[in-house]
Amino acid sequence: MRFVITLSIFFLAVMIHEYAHGWIAWKLGDATAKSQGRLTLNPIAHIDPVGTVLLPLILFITHLVTRAPLILFGWAKPVPVNFRNMRNPKRDMIWVGLAGPTANVLFAVLISFILKSPIVMMSPFFTAILNVAIILNLVLAVFNILPIPPLDGSRVLMGILPRKLSMEYAKLEPYGFIIILGLVYLGLLGTVIWPLVIFLSDLLGASL
């Protein structure tokens, strides 16, 4: 039951994340996502076989085997963006990259206000669900801001780097999933992500 609720919250978080990318791209001049039906809150349109299904499944199996805390992270199918349609492609790449993590952080802030309401505080069940929702959104935001292609942090870095370096850096994208799995296997991903997640969750009054 807990896994089903956690997975549902995860789907909601990645849906909001991808919608934010598409919306910002649209506002900056690129209507590709909108024209292809990806500017939607329908979670089915954003499911990625690897980031939304395979990686969470691997993490869940790892949780069952090792009894480590269950925390899901991953990514959705990237919304199509044509940066050439934008007014300032290199600069706007940064804003599009930041949109998803920012949306998750803002969603976590909104949930934290609900968490503090007297009615919710009287229910341990709803308190636990909202705490999970806050943590998942923060994990998703922090994870995606890592500068590993194709995560959002790589888009930000590509927008900052000089053009030649940016093009060389983009060549890492086919190996991104392998790099992420390697970091998970070595236990380094959690070492990078958790300190910031704990810091942000403390600010929002959420408990792990």
Average pLDDT over residues 130-145: 92
Q: What's the one-letter identity of residue 134?
A: I
User: Which residues are part of the catalytic machinery?
Assistant: 18
Residue 202: both structure tokens together: 């403390």
Residue 45 belongs to domain spanning? 2-204
Q: What is the DSSP string of 61-83?
A: HHHHHH----------PPPP--G
Q: Determine the pLDDT at residue 180.
A: 85
Residue 193: both structure tokens together: 């992500």
In angstroms, the Cα distances linking 114 to 12, 38, 109 are: 17, 29, 9
Query: What does the pLDDT look like over 69-93, one tens digit per residue?
Result: 666 666 778 888 898 899 898 899 9
- pTM of the prediction? 0.86
> Using CA atoms, how far apart are residues 97 and 116, in angstroms rounded to an integer?
31
Determine the straight-line distance between the first and last CA of the chain, rounded to whole angstroms.
Answer: 18
E strand map for 162-201: none
Residue 62: both structure tokens together: 């790892």
> Using CA atoms, how far apart are residues 206 and 128, in angstroms rounded to an integer?
9
Query: What does the pLDDT look like over 154-205, one tens digit per residue?
Result: 999 999 999 899 989 988 988 988 898 888 778 788 788 989 999 999 999 8
Q: What H or E segment, with its residue span, contains residue 14?
A: helix 2-27
* Number of domains within the chain: 1
* Residue 1 in this model has a pLDDT that exceeds 70: no
Residue 4: both structure tokens together: 């089903």
